[in-house]
């Protein structure tokens, strides 16, 4: 949550919780990942964007 913009931490938390729930249910796929990525980047601090993008690209390779 420290990488989320002030005032958008709840939104970031909700996005992450939804993603983890989909992973647990087996419904997290590449299409969902691509849809969610832009929403997640919208709540990330600009100084953390490169780090988050790198982590997301690494995760996408496993989909």
Q: What is residue 27's three-state secondary structure?
A: coil
The answer as to whether 24 is a domain residue is yes
- Please tell me the total count of domains within the chain: 1
In a domain, 56, yes or no: yes
- pLDDT for residue 24: 96
Is residue 4 situated within a structural domain? no
Residue 17 in domain: yes
Q: Is the pLDDT of residue 21 over 90?
A: yes
Q: Which residues pair with 4 in a beta bridge?
A: 44
Is the residue at 18 inside a domain? yes
Q: Which domain holds residue 43?
A: 9-60
Residue 62 pLDDT grade (very low, low, confident, very high; cuts 50, 70, 90): confident
* Cβ(37)–Cβ(6) below 8 Å: no
pLDDT of amino acid 32 = 93
Residue 1 lies in a domain: no
pTM of the model: 0.81
pLDDT band at 1 (very low <50, low <70, confident <90, very high): confident
Report angle CA 17, 41, 19 to the nearest 5 degrees: 20
Is 55 a member of any domain? yes
Query: Do residues 37 and 56 lie in contact, with contact meaning Cβ atoms separated by under 8 Å?
Result: yes
């Amino acid at each position: 949550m420290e990488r989320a913009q002030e005032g958008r931490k709840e939104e970031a938390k909700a996005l992450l919780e939804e993603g983890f729930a989909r992973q647990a249910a087996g419904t997290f796929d590449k299409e969902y990942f691509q849809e969610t990525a832009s929403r997640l980047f919208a709540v990330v601090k600009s100084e953390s964007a490169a780090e988050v993008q790198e982590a997301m690209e690494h995760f996408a390779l496993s989909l």
